[in-house]
Amino acid sequence: MSISDAGILSRSRIRTIVTSRPFLTFAIVALVWIVASFVSRGFGAYGHLRYLVELAAVIGIVAAGQTFVVIAGGIDLSVAAIVTVAAVGLPLFAIDADPTGLTPILAVLAMTTVIGLVNGLGVALLRVHPMIMTLAMATFLQGLLIIIAGGSAVTASNPLVSWVGNARPFGVPAGILVWVVVSVVVLVVMHATPFGARLFAMGAGPLAAKLSGVPIATTTMAVYGISGFMAGLAGIIVLGMNGQGYVGIGDPYLLASIAAVVLGGTSILGGLGTYAGSIPGAILLVTITALITVVNASPGWRSILFGTLILVLLLLSGREAARR
């Protein structure tokens, strides 16, 4: 009897996993990869797939912060600007006394975290709508960027940054390793800590959460702080991969981070979702972009294809429940 009980339990458990959004998104990625490798020679090569995941790592790390914010019921439209600020600002913190290059990285991460915290401050204490607060922050940072860079590209001569962008310990690009570490930490924080529980409560019903004793202001600030930190980290990796930072380097990551979150099954309205979905969501986005490049269409058609594919994927995974 206990054996059959266990059998039923595990079977229902398997069913829960198989029908979950993250698993479905992973399945779509696998399917696209398999079909694409038959259609296009070289798509399924290990080197190419590794390159795709390396590109997805940057989106995935930005999406980690975005997932936190979206689950808590907000949205962060300043991530692109923060990625750029990190990539362009890093050389400013270079200190000759530190040959490892760790100090500038820590300084940049601290700076972007503070930017995120200011976002949180505006949302939590000034009660500015997240979209407006982060939008205004992006405008603000755009001005700051012109002061820093003056329109010209900056070159990274930081050994640690180049390592993160180019090194391949054990044959795996360092960017992917960073992403793996980030993913594990994020998943644990999101699903196995009191902070994570507060997050979901706040996103599902801010008032109920507040009345139940969730510290709304500090949680909100923490969420935007995390988003700022992640965007900063992504900016450092992008700088390492490109070797150069310039104004506009972070622009693609705003839409990509939101799309990855939504494709992964996290509700844009908050309170529902998981980073486990955003991970395959990020890989899916990069895969779509790569496929469209393979098709070799004009920029117009490429853009149309990209938008249409996201819409179709949304139909599969992003529907909101009827509210009547």
Partner 1 sequence: MSDTSLASQSGTALYLAIQRKRNIGVRSLFLVVLAFLVAYGVLFPGLFTATGFAKFTQSWFPLALVAMAQAILMLTGGISLAIGALVSLGAVVAATTMTGPLGVTGGTLLVCVVGLGIGAATGLIVVKLRLPAIVVTLAGSFIIAGAALLVLPRPGGAIPDWLSNSLAGNTPAAFGVLVVIVLAWKLYLATPLGLSLYAAGEHPVGAYRSGVPVDAARIAAYAISGLLCTGAGLFVAAQTGSGDPIIGNSFTLNSIAAAVLGGIGFLGGQGTMRGALAGSLLLSLMISVMFFLGFTPVAQYVAQGLIIIGAVALPQFRMRAK
Rounded to whole angstroms, the maximal C-alpha distance in the chain is 73
CB of 206 to partner 1, least distance (A): 12
Kindly state the smallest distance separating residue 148's Cβ from partner 1, in Å. 10
Min CB(110)–partner 1 separation in Å: 21
Q: In angstroms, give the least distance from the CB of 105 to partner 1.
A: 26
Of the pair 114, 305, the CB lying nearest partner 1 is at 305
Q: Measure the CA–CA gap between 20 and 173, rounded to whole angstroms.
A: 29
Under the binding rule (CB under 8 A), the answer on residue 147 touching partner 1 is yes
Residue 1 or 147: the one with the smaller Cβ distance to partner 1 is 147
CB 280 → partner 1: shortest distance, Å? 17
Could you tell me how many residues of this chain bind partner 1 (CB under 8 A)?
A: 48
Residue from the set 22, 65, 235, 318 that interacts with partner 1 by CB under 8 A: 318
Q: What gap in Å lies between CA 39 and CA 65, rounded to an integer?
A: 35
> Least distance to partner 1 from the beta carbon of 68, Å?
18
Asked if 259 touches partner 1 (CB under 8 A), the answer is yes
207 touching partner 1, by CB under 8 A? no
Region 41-80 residues binding partner 1, contact defined as CB under 8 A: 75
Identify the CA nearest to 116 among candidates 82, 74, 75, 72. Answer: 82
Q: Which stretch binds partner 1 (CB under 8 A): 93-101, 102-110, 130-138, 155-163?
A: 130-138
Q: Which is nearer to partner 1, 27 or 132 (CB)?
A: 132
By CB under 8 A, name the binding residues for partner 1. 75, 122, 126-129, 131-133, 135-137, 139-140, 142-144, 146-147, 255, 258-259, 262, 267-269, 298-308, 310-311, 314-315, 318-324
